Chains A and B, each alone.
Chain A
């Protein structure tokens, strides 16, 4: 059971907009910025969004993030087949004194 809660799955058709939520508590998302990772098993995870809403260079502006209170979300617009993989949110937890990840959301492009 993950400290951060994400829906296990999400889906959309090409071109659609999808959002993935990440719910936490005052000891993690409520007091720390959120980062999002994209991970295809067998490859290196990739930083997608950092500091709630910043994109590393090379990440398309189709990806955006936000945080409010103890929740965060990742939005993907103009969905493409290459976006079909797993997405994870992460934050520092002051109570656990460590990084906590969401359980992951498997995105399917129909």
Chain B
């Protein structure tokens, strides 16, 4: 059974940092690109960024709203994806989801998602 479990969310002050983790099981993690997507209260889904796999040289992409502040990384040996968030702003408050990109499918095809972890940025 495919499972994605996020952790690391919590309350942080503006300007602070937080590191989210996504532990996966039930599939070969190293075969897949993995993304972070968030949903702020009262807003829609927003793509945060992508971690490509070894075949794609572990490259990353980021949304303009987080570029330079957020860093996505992965550890294939631990079947885990990470999101390091620095210089947090109140508008980063959201539930953060990790999602699996379908292998060989379209680039926006996420077939499995985690339950999400809530990040609240407030003083």
Task: Indicate whether B26 reaches chain A with its CB closer than 8 angstroms.
Answer: no
Please tell me if the beta carbons of A101 and B46 are within 8 angstroms of each other in the complex: yes
Please tell me if the beta carbons of B44 and A51 are within 8 angstroms of each other in the complex: no
- Interface size in chain B (residues, C-beta < 8 A): 28
Q: What 0/1 readout, one digit per residue, does chain B (15-33) give for beta carbons within 8 Å of chain A?
A: 0000000000000000000
Q: Which residues of A contact B99 (CB under 8 A)?
A: 45
Shortest Cβ distance from B37 into chain A, in angstroms? 8
The B interface is mostly helix, strand or loop, or mixed, namely strand
Shortest Cβ distance from A74 into chain B, in angstroms? 14
Residue of B44, B61, B113, B115 touching A102 (CB-CB under 8 A): B44
What residue in chain A is nearest B62 (Cβ atoms)?
A98
Residue of A2, A35, A41, A97 touching B108 (CB-CB under 8 A): A35
Q: List 8 A-B contacts (CB under 8 A).
A: A33-B108, A35-B106, A37-B110, A45-B110, A86-B44, A99-B37, A99-B50, A99-B108
Which A residues are within 8 Å of any B CB, using their own CB?
A: 2, 32-35, 37, 39, 41-47, 50-51, 56, 86, 88, 90-92, 96-104
10 tightest A-B contacts by CB? A92-B107, A104-B44, A99-B47, A44-B113, A90-B108, A33-B106, A99-B108, A101-B45, A103-B44, A50-B109
